[in-house]
A and B are shown apart, each in its own frame.
Chain A
């Protein structure tokens, strides 16, 4: 063991010194590995820092002057965490102790402390400058300064009913200060309370900009039960007191307990929905592809480093190193560089994130309450970076163990001849990988999917070396530059193959990700049902008001007035009202399907006949008795025209001809619709047969009735909103003005059509592929240029023109990049197809959609840039070779 350690130390020293001596290569690999670690670590720190700690949340709840905050959410005994943030009922046990919550609290309250009940009432606080919706806190006047959880900045604390304390942000928003008068309207329907502002201050602990208004009890109407109680006094509330109160269903946040939390079991709220098998498979496959590609992209740097060190390795072999030692030297290079990259990336990520947080906090941001470092994630990211570097060095290290020492010492070609079995293995791996990935994706077997994806990618890379050799056979058929480049590529596979692999990896990853994202985007777009033509403004009179009550503009005239004010605000072209009908006695209107459109009993889940008919969505639903009801649209053609979706003209014409518009599956062969009111009566009334026309995807409106048919069915018709047509989509400012115009009476929204940021991400991916692809090609070309210099000198000596050097360089790039991009694109499409297949377990209708422009940009852009760049950046004249002095 000791001998092994000594030998290991010697090889590690060589690897470390080599890394230091080859600064450029080392810096490149450190950047390639370290940057993702930096970004991931920094991001993790920022995300973690944006989540307040339990202690902070609890102390913010308490402010600076209270001992505890108590709420009474349950009537049964509870168990809670130390911070009072999580609790759960103890099943099967009744609450013990005194009757009311306040009585129960007082029974356990430490002697010397007192309770302050807090009432919270939603209120519309108005001044001459505007209206602010805010929760108004009511506290007893005597305890208000201790329980207001704010620091007085100006004025005094309210002492009697009719006075108010405002936070600085609320005061600023209302444009008022000490001495001003405000009115507070609550949902009770009573006339607003008029209050005098006597104090303004800053909230404790919470966001400096938090809105708030605190008034003495009696200033405004309050509910019978307080939302909670503050404990004020000098005696801390101990954990024993907390658990005693828990027996009465009380949940307590105690300052003393928060500052010295007891070791109690976590009271977890149930976690999020567990991932489906398909999602797990997808995530694993994506992570595996990502890791594999990172390894392949970093690999050429190590391969080229090992190739440059080949004579040194031969020398060490001559000294007495065996194969294992040679391999170890190269692999330890990966360990050294990977360690540096991982540690530096993680450290800089942490430092950077802490600095960003500090700057944000200094600028007033409250988004990062505490600097927190998720060490587990940071260490995991660093380990991933380390693993990538070591794995990238593994293959070059294997090759280094097979060098021909005698040839290397004699400065001849020293790399072992490539094995013929490798390309055969590659083809087999591709075949097996595709089969396994498809089976894994279709059957939602994550392990099989991941193994298939890995085998596919490795197989393509393994086969690429053989393809390089095959392509080399084309050499006799092309010109001098191409011939030289093809022969050079096939004879120097140790240099060519890693570069081709890196380009394959970069392109395959981007094409696979792009294909998956584009397929999801295309699916989302196909599923999107627009409410109206793009840019059309919709005014829905039914809505939930600021108190949570259902209200709507009543009557056709009021809707028309509101819609007109919206039209003016958005500079609209015209207005059409939306009318909806529903049975007088409740229930709904059903469009009966013809027998051949009924869902068969033995149908498959994907039979379209078993899908619901398109029906009116929530946007325009009027409210009956506080509940939404399904309704149908009533129109003579004007409204569907105004909605402006494709087919609107034909739909309007059909309505004007007295026909009902129905879902195609509800259209009977004789061109009629069978409408039946389903109001729960038994038997149901007989269907009414009316002439009909099919309309598919007319926005969210499934069935549209002419007024005459609605009357014939005895439906009640209400005006529920309006459509405002526009020449152009309104701006945000116009929309804000429109919403102000009907504030509290209707909701305004604009149909902007389907939008998705995916194309932006796709182009970012293309840019990444360009950068990595060109980088890998450039790396290989730089080494090729250095190795090829004597041959170019020979070419020059026998009369080749200076342009020949450029043409050879361009041809060498072309070999690498065309092979890499070609194979990478095919692999990426295959991987993308597999990912889409895997995702189909959750979304059966997801189809493969290839992002054509992006794939074309990669397939054409990378070769053009690489070949052009090689031609232009290569010097046409050879530099004078430096003579080394002895």
Chain B
């Protein structure tokens, strides 16, 4: 996946550290992580359980806050924002895709996709049109009126990707999006995700499986909260770009 034309930096993380608990029971989930993601770029994050992958995802999405360090998303420094502003940022700039799809069971596919736009105060007609467009881009617009329990896992995950990138959202944070799918469906979902990134978005993909990480432009390895290279050596910030090529 080299030689792709990348856009400007969308996400910047510098010295991000996250410590859970205090004193003797303190756990350092992330330790001085630096990361840049550009538009058009999909970055995979790999690592063992407990290495800090999900914590990193939560922090860059504004769901969690770093103990130290900074995260800048689309020009906004997240630590300077209050909870309401971070929620607004998630509505407008960031979308999550989870392992077990996590569509709202009470809403149809179109309503799931339009929900962040409607929560942002966008009128129903506009939000629905944007949702239809997003569904069309991931190839499931014919399922717009179906409820989640009327769709397969792969279809639900496509809807989740559509929701993650509906409207102005440009950063998709995917936490094991293929973990609950068979390999064929998983490949299919990755193809859709890659296509959406190529169309002008950016993505951070947490995965255990190298074959899905191969869809990314580069891969970051985490071990005990620290970014390491393929051999387990800690990488300095200036070498991150190099570590991504495997």
A interface with B by C-beta (< 8 Å) = 2-4, 6-7, 9-11, 13-14, 17-18, 20-21, 311-312, 315-325, 405-406, 409-410, 886
Contacts and interface: CB of A to CB of B under 8 A. Distances in A.
A318 B63 contact: yes
Contact of A312 (B63, B104, B123, B182): B104
Contacts, number: 96
Interface in B94-131: 95-96, 98, 102, 104-107, 111, 114-116, 118-124, 127
Contacts of B111: 13
Interface string B47-91: 000000010001001011000000000000000000110011111
A13 B96 contact: no
26 contacts: A6-B122, A7-B120, A7-B121, A9-B124, A10-B115, A11-B119, A13-B107, A14-B104, A14-B107, A18-B106, A312-B104, A312-B106, A315-B98, A315-B104, A316-B104, A317-B63, A318-B61, A318-B96, A319-B91, A320-B87, A322-B83, A322-B87, A322-B88, A409-B98, A886-B152, A886-B180
A6 B83 CA distance: 21
What 8 pairs between A and B have smallest CB-CB spacing? A3-B121, A320-B91, A17-B106, A10-B118, A322-B87, A320-B90, A886-B153, A320-B116
A17 B95 CA distance: 23
A315 B95 CA distance: 11
B104 A320 contact: no
A231 to B, nearest CB: 68
Contacts of B119: 7, 10-11, 316, 319-321, 325
B214 interface: no
B223 interface: no
B92 interface: yes
Contacts of B180: 886
Given A312-B106, A319-B115, 11 more contacts: A3-B120, A7-B121, A10-B114, A17-B106, A315-B104, A319-B119, A320-B87, A320-B89, A320-B91, A321-B87, A321-B91
A323 B54 CA distance: 22
Contact of A4 (B83, B87, B121): B121
Among A324, A325, A405, A409, find the residue whose CB has the most chain B CB atoms closer than 10 A. Answer: A409
How many B residues are at the interface, by size bracket? Answer: 35 or more
Nearest to A1: B121
Interface of B: 54, 58, 61, 63-64, 83-84, 87-92, 95-96, 98, 102, 104-107, 111, 114-116, 118-124, 127, 152-153, 163, 180-182, 185
A886 B115 contact: no
A6 B123 contact: yes
Nearest to B98: A409
Contacts of B90: 318-320
Contact of A316 (B64, B114, B115, B181): B115
B107 A17 contact: yes
B72 to A, nearest CB: 19
A14 B106 contact: yes
A19 to B, nearest CB: 9
Contact of A319 (B58, B83, B96, B127): B96
Contacts of B84: 322-324
A275 to B, nearest CB: 49
Contacts of A323: 83-84, 87
A6 B118 contact: yes
A256 B185 CA distance: 84
A315 B182 CA distance: 24
Contacts of A7: 118-121
Contacts of A409: 58, 63, 98, 102
Nearest to A19: B106
Contacts of A9: 118, 124
Contacts of A17: 106-107
A18 to B, nearest CB: 5
Contacts of A316: 104, 115, 119
B106 A406 contact: no
Given A317-B87, A319-B96, A320-B87, A406 B63 contact: yes
Contacts of A4: 121
Contacts of B102: 311, 315, 409
A20 to B, nearest CB: 8
Contacts of A324: 84
A381 to B, nearest CB: 30
A191 B175 CA distance: 109
Nearest to B164: A319
A312 B118 contact: no
A405 B57 CA distance: 13
Nearest to A411: B100
Contacts of A21: 105-106
B123 to A, nearest CB: 6
A55 B142 CA distance: 64
B124 A312 contact: no
A451 to B, nearest CB: 35
Nearest to B92: A320
A325 to B, nearest CB: 6
A317 B116 CA distance: 10
Contacts of B96: 318-319
Contacts of A318: 61, 63, 90, 96
A7 B88 CA distance: 12
A323 B86 CA distance: 11
A518 to B, nearest CB: 49
B214 to A, nearest CB: 22
Contacts of A2: 121, 123
Contacts of A6: 118, 121-124, 127
Nearest to A324: B84
A750 B107 CA distance: 72
A864 to B, nearest CB: 40
Among A10, A13, A316, A323, find the residue whose CB has the most chain B CB atoms closer than 10 A. Answer: A10
A4 B111 CA distance: 18
Contacts of B105: 21, 312
Contacts of B87: 317, 320-323, 325
Contacts of B116: 319-320
A316 B91 CA distance: 10
A3 B122 CA distance: 6
Contacts of A10: 114-115, 118-119
B29 to A, nearest CB: 11
Contacts of A317: 63, 87
Contacts of B54: 410
Contacts of B127: 6
Contacts of B98: 315, 409
A195 B243 CA distance: 124
Nearest to B122: A6
